[in-house]
Amino acid sequence: MRYAITVEYDGAGYSGWQRQLNAPTVQQTVEEALRVLTGEETVIVGSGRTDAGVHAAGQVAHFDTARELDVYRFRYSLNALLPEDVKVVKMQRVADDFHAQYSAKQKTYSYGMYISRTPSPLRRGRFVRITPPFDVEKFVAAARMFEGEHDFKAFGNVGSEVSTTVRTIYSAEVKVCGDEVVLYLTGNGFLYNMVRVIAGTLVRVATGKMPSEEIERMFAEGTRTHGIKTLPPYGLTLEKVFYNIFPPEDKV
């Protein structure tokens, strides 16, 4: 039997999603709880890795087990075993050919910032502080330039394993509330560090250090403009993974 779980986690205490030797990761934290409950050497397959410090509101993973599970009761028991910074917010039986990584059609990431000269204790570890001046309208307008199909070579830190650097961003939305600015990117795939580099690019534009036309040049030439930072991991959250064969369901 194959089951899919949706996992929410605060990445601060973990060396990312993927299992590692000698470092706590979210994957092994969930696997260890699953093994206690199933009595099997359960391995979970996530929709993709998240880096050390990156959060998830809706990471999805699948696993197989010989037993038929009551998903509601099983999830409850699993959460009782899991630490408070990792919880399974949804669980459902899926078809044998469901694959958390290969069946994924789209993902939404968010990147959270606040614009202030002073560090904010209540936003630390979740939002990245950007020093003003900051032109929100420029930020929003430049974010729109990322929508559509582009070669994101200049915006990812590409390893040799990637066959193409062309990706499609379906939407680049910005939510502004007080001094907070949150970027939401939904796309069919993301290169390594891509959201953090795009956020860094938009900050460069919004703080007046780079004209937005430079984004067009990066798409065309595939090289990153000097001065663009890969923003830190803790502003990044994997919000949602979309599947055709995985119907949406309320968290509640």
Q: Is 115 in the site for its own copies (CB under 8 A)?
A: yes
- Please, is 205 exposed, middle or buried when counting C-beta atoms within 10 Å of its C-beta (0-12, 13-18, 19+)? buried
User: Residue from 2, 19, 35, 87 that binds its own copies (CB under 8 A)?
Assistant: 87
Q: Name the one range near its own copies by CB under 8 A: 84-92, 98-106, 187-195, 221-229.
A: 84-92
**234 Cα distance to chain centroid:** 11
Q: Is 109 in the site for its own copies (CB under 8 A)?
A: no
Q: Is 85 in the site for its own copies (CB under 8 A)?
A: yes
Question: Which strand (E) or helix (H) includes residue 135?
Answer: none
Mask 54-73, x = binds its own copies (CB under 8 A)?
-x-x----------------
For residue 71, give the nearest of 116, 4, 162, 14 by alpha carbon: 4
**17 Cα distance to chain centroid:** 11
Count of beta carbons in the 10 Å neighbourhood of residue 104: 19
- Show binding-site residues for substrate: 109
Toward its own copies, which CB reaches closer, 7 or 218? 7
Residues touching its own copies, count (CB under 8 A):
28
Q: Is 248 in the site for its own copies (CB under 8 A)?
A: no
Options 51, 64, 85, 179, the catalytic residue: 51
- For residue 190 the two structure tokens come to 């993301």
Q: Phi then psi for 178, rounded to 5 degrees?
A: 60, -125
Residue 93 CA to residue 217 CA, distance in Å, equals 46
What is the binding site for its own copies (CB under 8 A)? Answer: 8-10, 55, 57, 75, 79, 84-89, 115-122, 124, 126, 132, 179, 237, 251-252
